[in-house]
Structure 1
Amino acid sequence: MGWCAALAGGMVLALAAYRWTEQSSTERLRAAGAQRLEVYAASLENLLDKYDFLPHMLELDKDVQALLAHPEDPVRRQEMNGYLERQSRQAGSRIIYIVDLQGRTLAASNWRQKDSFVGDDIGFRPYLQDALRGRPSGFYGVGTTSGEPGYFYARGVHRDGRMLGVAVVKVNIEALERGWMQGADKVMLADANGVLFLSSAPAWKYHTLRPLPAGVRARLDQTRQYHRLPLPPLRIVRDEARAGGTRVVAIGAGAGHDARAGTPPLLMQTRSLAPRQWTFIYLSDLSQARASARAAMLFACLAYGFLLLLFLYVRQRLRARAQLQDAYNNLEAMVAERTARLEHTTQSLIDEMDVRRQAEQQLHRTQNELYQAGKMAVLGQMSASITHELNQPLTALRTMADNAVLLFDRGRMAEARENLAKISQIVARMGTITGKLKSFARKSNAGLAPVSVHTAVSNALVLVERRMQLDKVAFTFDIGPADIYALCDSNRLEQVLLNLMSNALDALATLERGAPRELAVSVARTPASVLIRVADNGPGLSGEARGRLFEPFFTTKPQGEGLGLGLAISEQIVRDFGGSLRAEPTDTGACFVIELQAAPLER
């Protein structure tokens, strides 16, 4: 009877372990998915807000107003083509063009290309119709001339209260998909009609979450938002509602395939992007959660069996306790004798440790000053790119400030107030950049604490982001579905990451013009450590350089472009954290690995 009760208890424990592990694993996936959705949404909003001021600046441009007032002047149109070409190149937009009230394109930044927009009639586009009604708008669609998708900003151009035409800016947001494709989970962005126009799974792009009603499809055909694309619906073979607004779905392969094959369960989470009426969709694979639940059930069975064996062992152990008590009494006498000798030795060691402690404190202060000097040197080298990053908003501020004065003088208070609001947004963006510089330049604390690796990489990336854009460097960041924490000092870790990224960009700058330039940062965690890899596809390291990488004053850069202290300081910082910095051999380029102690997981 006793053994039957023990077996029944083991089965109940195994089932409880399965249910609890499955629920907790699903909840961790939900929390990680919610965090990633916020990151993706913020990244998209930042990208779109970056270009929001361009149409407004064009509206205030006197040359644009003059062209719309005299649309048949060929000299003005040619000069405007060149002006828009320069503005598009400087702002990093895809295309900028000016449209008259009849929907005809008068000038465009792509006037040199075969698929130039000049002369096109785009009166059917919703963004143009909204702008002509006095409602500045944004619109995602596939180009009817080039076939290239993008996001369109449109704003009416006015003079003396009368609309002259519309300024339109097209921006390519497809580059966001490359960052989404790094992880195992899937990310999609759907419009108000449920059309997936961005997706980390290429096979699902330009599909719909549900069949489109005839009226919606007719409207899409009229506006040509998805030019000639069939927009078939996804084959969703399973859809179950779960707590917290999540759903469990399974998506089939396609027509002619077995609906039950290759359809793992996926946890669906959504986040709305107002006022654009877009929806972010994040799909997490639940297969691993269920595998973890099965493993937990097996572990519970083994643990229960172990406890039964432990019970038998303890009972046997108690019988030998009396014998061990006698041996313990004899051991106490031996310990007392050796303790007296250790006390004498300990006092001698204390005196020696005091002397060493003072020397270590002096060494630590000197190292801190060297670390601070290294950060200041990095900031000095980055001054040119930081100045360029701030120059564009400053130019826009000057133009908008001058126009605000004119608007006040003319009594156009509503437009002046809108102009000042734009100035406030640009100043806030500049404050973000300078705030990161101030945080990086401050002195670090000496203690170790759990630090978010994702936050440290993001803070360092802010200081080199503009340089990567100017040098056309493709950047990828892989940290997995959840953030990772390491034991270190956040400011000094950012200093090491910034030094490695800057060295990688210096190496990539030596490549031939037009050659692909790639910089990748990946983060992985083992039970005891965190590994951060910074890799590039540059010219790599020679045998001599690899052997002397961390020697002070050794550098492979040209005379006057480096002191040779960056890697030496970085290696010392990581060593102070109790970790290591090393270069790993690669087929192309260079790869540096930072190994740190992993912060204990919260329980």
Structure 2
Amino acid sequence: MADPPAATPAAPARAQPPRGGPGHALARLAWCAALAGGVALAGAAYWWTERVSTERLRAAGAQRLEVYAASLENLLDKYDFLPHMLELDKDVLALLEHPGDPARRQEVNAYLERLSKQAGSRIIYIVDLQGRTLAASNWREKSSFVGDDIRFRPYLQDALRGRPSGFYGVGTTSGEPGYFYARGVYRDGRMQGVAVVKVNIEEQERGWVQGADNVMLADANGVVFLSSAPAWKYHTLRALSPAVRAHLAQTRQYYRLPLPALPISRDETRADGTRVMVIGGQTGGGARPMLVQQRSLAPRQWTFIHLSDLSHARANARLAVLFAGVAYGFLLLLFLYVRQRLRAKEQLQDAYNNLEMMVAERTARLERTTQRLMDEAEVRREAEQQLHRTQNELYQAGKMAVLGQMSASITHELNQPLTALRTMSDNAVQLFERGRMAEARENLVKISQIVARMGTITGKLKGFARKSNAELGPVSIHTAISNALVLVERRMQLDKVAFTLDISDADIFALCDSNRLEQVLLNLMSNALDALATLERGAPRALSVSVTEAAGAVRIRVGDNGPGLSNEARERLFQPFFTTKPQGEGLGLGLAISEQIVRDFGGSLRAEPSEAGASFVIELRAASAERHDG
């Protein structure tokens, strides 16, 4: 028998490194290093994101502080000239010389009442040198100031010493807070009495409450007398000393108010220079850390305080940590994947070489196709940009056309301060002739302030005329309607048009662009006023605006009781260059531009049937207030 074949020797098994050897130790060390790197990356992401978010809050807060301060200064400067005007009235001087004359007292009471209504002030009153009120604009009311002794008020004491002053305080007679202007009334260089004007500045506070900011205004003693949070009002930033409380009690600045200290549980300055404060009982839930920014209002020794919620910055930092962790984990997985592919590459090299040639050929074809598509996309992009620029220029031309049609009412709006400038200039000439240089200089300062207020009016026109961007965001419908009314209210007064506004007290927000929405509203209001102008003289004229919100949509209706629209006009309303106005008074582009603007917002503009006159409806997508605040 043949011998059996010899067995093939088995291949030797590949030696495996011991589990506790140097290879495993290096692997554990690498994983520890990777974990440490991930923790360091997360910490750096948290620190950097919190710092950037805090800096953005600080920049935004500083900008808002400047806006709030400028708004308050403009309001206070608006009434600064009133006490000086009373010195020029002969009846006021006659009453101070003959305080017991009831006829003169009644004339001055009536004059102060008219002046207070025209100026929009709360109360105007005249005080003699003994601190007794001789006449007041509220002489008809039960809480009349006539006959009151106000010698205890600091503003009166300063005025009697020849120093015009301002003072914020709570009225001891009416209980209403306000800002008091006081100035001596002189005749031939001798003081006869004091003129005092009280102004309500609580409107500023109402504007803060409607916004998302936490704002406080404190006096030199740290008493918060205006605040966006009602729970903070008439509290103090620090405990008042007995001397300060005694002084406040003597002057009755905060009449019968206890003035407790705010529950500040934390107030510290960080290493980066930011100041952080925690106040209990603040709006929106429990106490949260707030970034503190201050601005001094000299010479009134007031301090504006803006508080920004740092919880948003910390939430952003936590999101940054989460993102950094996910990204780091993805990179680790990518590294392991690449490492595994490199190991498998040796086994798949032959197949990969063939595949690489196929991929190269297909890639070349794809590159050629991609290049053609890119060229076509570039041509289309340039065409779209040109179309967008043309549309923007058309929108801007529409604005300029509306402003041109409104030139008469704008001119009248500026003529009033110009008349005041002429009067005060004549007064300055008389004061120079009498040698009263200091008072003449004060008169010139008032002229400068009136010129600044004229600049505010032209600033509103400039804001409307500026070009808008194409970005959409939440827009306050209240604010848009108010801004549009500023530009047409004078025309409504001249044409005797009755205006009604039907809108809820709570603000309504829509997704659009504020400047372009104001352009559409102004165009519809101007068209309505043009239609009303065609009615017979003496016929009632009415313009109405109503706003409703339902099912995620905001509807703005602009209607009038004019002659209405014909069937032909309804069919061609939004066609370019179609107009029902006489030749030379309209281009026929207003409604076409407005319809295109609203369509770009994702909404619609249409004319609806109306029993009398014309009615246009703007329908927009609703936006939430939280999105607006963010």
Q: TM-score range by the shorter chain?
A: 0.7 to 0.9
Separation of aligned partners in 2, 1:306 and 1:132: 77
Alignment-derived partner of residue 318 in structure 2: 294
Give the alignment partner of residue 451 of structure 2, picking from 419, 427, 430. 427
Structure 2 equivalent of residue 552 of structure 1: 574
- 2:116 is matched with which residue? 88
Q: Helix, strand or coil for the counterpart of 1:8?
A: helix
- The residue aligned with 2:420 is 396
Is the 1:407–1:415 contact (alpha carbons within 8 Å) kept by the matching residues of 2? yes
TM-score between both structures, scaled by the size of structure 2? 0.71
Alignment of 1:550-589 (within 5 A): 552=574, 566=590, 568-573=592-597, 579-582=600-603
Q: Which residue of 2 aligns with 1:314?
A: 338
User: Given the alignment of the two structures, is residue 190 of structure 1 paired with residue 218 of structure 2, yes or no?
Assistant: yes
Residues 126-145 of structure 1 correspond to what in structure 2 (within 5 A)? 126-145=154-173
Check if 1:405 corresponds to 2:429.
yes
**Partner residue, 1:178:** 206
Following TM superposition, by how much is the alpha carbon of 1:68 offset from its aligned partner in structure 2, in angstroms? 2.0
Shift of 1:11: 1.8
1:64-143 → structure 2 map (5 Å cutoff): 64-143=92-171
Pick closer, same or farther for the CA change 1:441–1:139 going to 2, 3 Å. same
Please point out which of 258, 270, 276 is paired with 1:242: 270
Q: Secondary structure at the match of 1:145?
A: coil
The 1:233–1:381 alpha-carbon spacing in structure 2 relative to 1, beyond 3 Å, is farther
Is the CA contact 2:82–2:197 (under 8 Å) kept in the aligned structure 1? Answer: yes
Q: Which amino acid aligns with 1:582?
A: G
| Alpha-carbon contact 1:65-1:159 (below 8 Å) kept | yes
**TM-score, length basis structure 1:** 0.74
Distance (Å, rounded) in 2 between the aligned partners of 1:85 and 1:467: 29
Whether 2:294 is the aligned partner of 1:270: answer yes
Amino acid at match of 1:497: E
Question: Among residues 296, 304, 328, which one is paired with 1:304 in the alignment?
Answer: 328
The equivalences for 1:425-574 within 5 A come to 425-437=449-461, 440-441=464-465, 464-465=485-486, 494-500=515-521, 552=574, 566=590, 568-573=592-597
Distance 1:5 1:230, change over 3 A: same
Per the TM alignment, residue 126 of structure 1 is displaced from its structure 2 partner at its CA by: 0.8
Alignment gaps of 5+ in structure 2:
1-27, 494-498, 533-543, 606-616, 624-630
Alignment of structure 1 residues 325-336 onto 2, 5 Å? 326-327=354-355, 329-330=357-358, 333=361
Structure showing greater radius of gyration is 2
Per the TM alignment, residue 344 of structure 1 is displaced from its structure 2 partner at its CA by 11
Change (3 A) 1:593 1:112: farther
Gaps spanning 5+ residues in structure 1: where? 255-260, 511-515, 521-532, 596-603
Q: Give the match's secondary structure for 2:425.
A: helix
Match of 1:215 in 2: 243
The corresponding residue for 1:62 is 90
Match of 2:9 in 1: none
Task: Tell me if structure 1 keeps the 8 A contact 2:293–2:307.
Answer: yes
Contact 2:264 2:279 in 1 (8 A): yes
Give the Å deviation of 1:568: 4.0
| CA distance in 2 between partners of 1:71 and 1:495 (Å) | 58
> Which residue of structure 1 aligns with residue 441 of structure 2?
417
1:32 aligns with 2:60: yes
CA contact (8 A) 1:59 1:155 kept: no
Comparing 82-91 with 205-214, greater Cα deviation is found at: 82-91
Residue 229 of structure 2 is aligned to residue 201 of structure 1: yes
Write the deviation string for residues 255-311 of structure 1: whole angstroms up to 9, x where unpaired. xxxxxx932222222111111100111122222322332332232222211110011
Deviation of the 1:390 alpha carbon: 2.8
Alpha-carbon spacing, 1:581–1:412, altered in 2? closer, same or farther (3 Å): farther
Say which SS state the counterpart of residue 113 (structure 1) adopts.
coil
Of all paired residues, the percent bearing the same amino acid is 66
Check the 8 A contact 1:209/1:234 in 2, yes or no.
yes
Q: Displacement, 1:374?
A: 3.0
- 1:3 pairs with 2:26: no
Q: Please list the CA deviations of residues 454-503 of structure 1 after superposition, one character each: whole Å capped at 9, or x if unmatched.
A: 9xx99997775587899898999899xxxx9x9x9xxxx63543443786
Shift of the alpha carbon at 1:104? 1.7
Answer yes or no: is the 8 Å Cα contact 1:468–1:505 preserved in 2. no
Q: CA deviation at 1:192?
A: 0.3
Whether 1:224 and 2:246 are equivalent positions in the alignment is no
Distance in 1 between residues matched to 2:442 and 2:483, nearest whole Å = 29
Structure 1 residue 210: Cα displacement: 1.1
Equivalent residues, number: 535
Cα distance in 2, alignment partners of residues 204 and 94 from structure 1: 25
SS in 1 for 2:115: helix
Q: Provide the C-alpha distance between the structure 2 equivalents of 1:344 and 1:13, rounded to a whole number of angstroms.
A: 43
Separation (CA, whole Å) in 2 of partners of 1:342 and 1:41:
56
Relative to structure 1, the CA distance from residue 84 to residue 437 in structure 2 (aligned partners, 3 Å threshold; closer, same or farther) is same
CA contact (8 A) 2:131 2:149 kept: yes
Residues 134 and 467 of structure 1, relative CA distance in 2, 3 Å threshold: farther
Contact 2:523 2:591 in 1 (8 A): no
Relative distance call for 1:343 and 1:306 in structure 2 (3 A) is closer
